Amino acid sequence: MAWFRRTKENISPETQKKDLPDGLWEKCPECGEILHKKQIESNFWTCTKCSYHFRIGADEYIRLILDEGSFKEMNKKMKSADPLGFVDTKRYSDRIEQTIKNTGLFDAVKTGTGTINKTEVAFGCMDFKFIGGSMGSVVGEKLARLADKAAKSRIPLIIVSASGGARMMEGALSLMQMAKTSARLSVLDREGIPYISIMTDPTTGGTTASYAMLGDINIAEPKALIGFAGPRVIKQTIGRDLPEGFQKSEFLLDHGFVDKVVHRKDMKHTISQLLELMT
């Protein structure tokens, strides 16, 4: 029991922390700056003050990286088949239908072709909104076909990852998508077709341990969480606190696992320049 107790509601801290009105304003989780949605958008969905990169979806990345209107989506309506009849606290099939309804996405990746400063590319982009960007059969199959497209048309492949890892609700089938996608990338590798992997916040688990880490060039957005095991699991395992900046993009750059940390505003230009030099 505390010595003093606040009885008057009007001076409780909660009343001051009220959410901002009408959803047009957002607070930067990093520096606390209050920003208008339009302001964020025109600044490549980053904070004008501290450059914090807000999490964005596949559509935003398509706008950000590809030439306007150039994206042609492939296999748009491919959906999960719930092969295990998986039930946890919810049915997986219900979860899928609900997520499709809420997000307007069919699964956690969009794939297709488009151009970057007029160079044709095969482009895949994950979306964290769809069950944490988890990789199941649909993500695996769409990315595998995308790699095939890149091989067949001999055009560079670009994959933007945003994913918590393999999707538990498809069990071992999700796991096998790691092998499936890596096997198809091995064909590109053999054929000398460039593959650029872009890792955004977060890229972890089976996604990192397959296609995300296999780029000829690995690029990361600033301060993205990138790793195999999640920080909580590691902390539990080793029984001590993790160092500042552990598993962040800059940490991976320092340890030699990404080539470059690139601000979102420079992403298109950097990719374009790389492709120019590589092809």
Partner 1 sequence: MAKTILEFEKPVVELEEKLAEMRKVSGNFDLTDEIKLLEDKVIKLKESIYKGLTRWQRVQLARHPERPYSLDYIYLMTQDFIELHGDRLFKDDKAVVGGFARIDDYKVMIIGQQKGRDTKSNIYRNFGMPNPEGYRKALRLMKLAEKFNRPVITLLDTPGAYPGLEAEERGQAEAIARNLLEMSQLKVPIIVVIIGEGASGGALGMGVGDRILMLENTWYSVISPESCSSILWRSWDYKEQAAEALKLTSSDLLDLKIIDRIIPEPLGGAHKNHEEAAIMLKKALTEELSQLIKIKPDKLVETRIEKFGKMGAYVE
Instruction: For residue 161, list its beta bridge partners.
Output: 199
User: Of the two residues 11 and 172, which places its CB atom closer to partner 1 in the complex?
Assistant: 172
**Rounded Cα distance, 121 and 132, in Å:** 26
Q: Is 118 left (phi over 0), alpha (psi -120 to 50) or beta?
A: left
Among 49, 55, 59, 84, binds partner 1 (CB under 8 A): 84
Segment 207-246, which members bind partner 1 (CB under 8 A)? 208-214, 227-230, 233-234, 237-238, 242-243, 246
Of 82 and 201, CB closest to partner 1: 82
| CA 248 to chain CA mean position, Å | 14
Query: Which one of residues 64, 100, 187, 253 is an interface residue with partner 1 (CB under 8 A)?
Result: 187
Q: Kindly provide the residue ranges of all beta strands, DSSP E only, lying in 95-235, ordered along the sequence.
A: 109-116, 119-126, 157-163, 195-203, 217-220
Q: Does 168 bind partner 1 (CB under 8 A)?
A: yes
- Cβ nearer to partner 1, comparing 83 with 119: 83
Q: Which is nearer to partner 1, 80 or 111 (CB)?
A: 80
Number of residues that bind partner 1 (CB under 8 A): 66
At closest approach, how far in Å is the CB of 226 from partner 1?
Answer: 8
166 binds partner 1 (CB under 8 A): yes
Are the C-beta atoms of 31 and 52 separated by less than 8 Å?
yes
Q: Which residues have a Cβ under 8 Å from the Cβ of 213 and sit 6 or more positions away?
A: 197, 257
The DSSP secondary-structure symbol of 108 reads S
Residue 22 is a binding residue for partner 1 (CB under 8 A): no
Does residue 54 belong to the site contacting partner 1 (CB under 8 A)? no
Q: Can you tell me which residue has the tokens 């298109």?
A: 268
* CA-to-CA separations, 270 to 188, 262, 277, in angstroms, rounded: 21, 8, 11
Cβ proximity to partner 1, 41 vs 171, nearer residue: 171
Nearest approach, Cβ of residue 202 and partner 1 (Å):
12
38 by DSSP, 3-state: which? Answer: helix
Q: Which stretch binds partner 1 (CB under 8 A): 29-37, 50-58, 117-125, 162-170?
A: 162-170
Binding to partner 1 in span 239-278, by CB under 8 A: 242-243, 246-247, 255-257
Which residue in 140, 114, 135, 102 sits closest to 61, CA to CA? 114
Binding region for partner 1 (CB under 8 A): 75, 77-84, 86-89, 136-138, 140-141, 144, 166-180, 182-187, 189-190, 205-206, 208-214, 227-230, 233-234, 237-238, 242-243, 246-247, 255-257
